[in-house]
Structure 1
Amino acid sequence: MGAINIQEKLNLFSDHWSPKKVGELNGQQILLAKLKGEFIWHTNENEDEFFMVIKGSLDIEFKDKTITLHKGEFFIVPRGVEHKPIAKEEVHVLLFEPLSIKHTGNVMADITVENYERI
């Protein structure tokens, strides 16, 4: 047991759209990720997704609107809602997701991560 320093963990990687696991809590995984550019449209049928911006600004597009998150803000994407994250510049995020969630939801793509690396 020990404290986890988020910035130290973020300094360990530079790849985008590849979340890194930093902990688990009651069936949830705590992930850190660096995002840049556009992700893919996807849906998580059975899981909600929690996005908290640590650095930068993140747009989350929906079919009918766009939510913009800034440093210190979070948003929960409800299960079953199609969405597409977009980071115009590099964004650092903290994610809480069930252990069962698939990285790209209902879509398999070149960027799909099967198992999150633990750092």
Structure 2
Amino acid sequence: MNNEPVALPQALASFDALWSPRVVTRVNDYDVRVAKVAGEHVWHVHEHTDEFFLVLSGELHIALREPAGERTVTLGRSSVFVVPRGTEHKPYSPDGAEILLFEPTGTLSVGDRHDEVPAHVDATTGHALTPAATRPDTRPDPGDA
């Protein structure tokens, strides 16, 4: 676990792969993950855990299959949403987004049950960030001048 501050812009700039989350840090038994997303993920369900989404940039849609029927929630920048455990869902982003997720360590990105995983979706429990990606940018913000 990293015991130094992590700058999310640097963490996100350290990789290009879509639907391939990186573990930024851990909180108790949970991973804090960041991911770049565009296009569609896959219908899937996490049987034993909720899934927390925070949109850092762009817009994320999450299609949900609930007992009352299907619906889609739309999350803009700085919006959060929790998909309850056992709810089938499919995230997608027509124009791309950057997101932060909280999930128990070891949770597979495509859930416990899922449709066939397309080639552009990484079925992973999260990848480690490179050491350089965890260092905060200490340069002054030009907007602070």
Unaligned runs of 5+ in 2: 130-145
Matched with 1:7 is: 9
Out of 38, 43, 48, the residue aligned to residue 45 of structure 2 is 43
CA displacement at 1:114 relative to structure 2: 3.2
- Aligned AA (2:80): F
The equivalent position to 2:73 in structure 1, one of 62, 67, 73, is 67
Please give the alpha-carbon distance, in whole angstroms, between the structure 1 residues aligned to 2:64 and 2:92: 11
Deviating beyond 2 angstroms after TM superposition, the runs of 4 or more aligned structure 1 residues are 107-115
- Match in the other structure for 1:116: 126
Structure-1-length-normalised TM-score: 0.94
State percent identity of aligned pairs. 34
Question: CA RMSD for the aligned pairs?
Answer: 1.3
User: Given the alignment, which residue of 91, 102, 105 partners 1:96?
Assistant: 102
Q: State whether residues 21 and 127 of structure 2, in contact with CA within 8 Å, keep that contact through their aligned partners in structure 1.
A: yes
TM-score, structure 2 normalization: 0.78
How far apart in 2 are the matches of 1:42 and 1:115? 14
For 2:127 and 2:46, locate their aligned partners in 1 and report how far apart those are by CA, in whole Å: 20
Give 1:78 shift: 0.3
Q: For residue 11 of structure 1, what is the amino acid of its counterpart?
A: A
Q: Who is 2:29 aligned against?
A: 27
**Larger Rg over CA atoms:** 2
Structure 2 counterpart of 1:77: 83
Match of 1:7, SS state, is helix
User: Is residue 17 of structure 1 aligned with residue 19 of structure 2?
Assistant: yes
Q: What letter corresponds to residue 99 of structure 2 in structure 1?
A: V
State which drifts further: 27-36 or 94-103: 94-103
| Amino acid corresponding to residue 114 of structure 1 in structure 2 | T
In 2: Cα distance, 1:26 partner to 1:46 partner: 17
Q: How many residues align?
A: 119
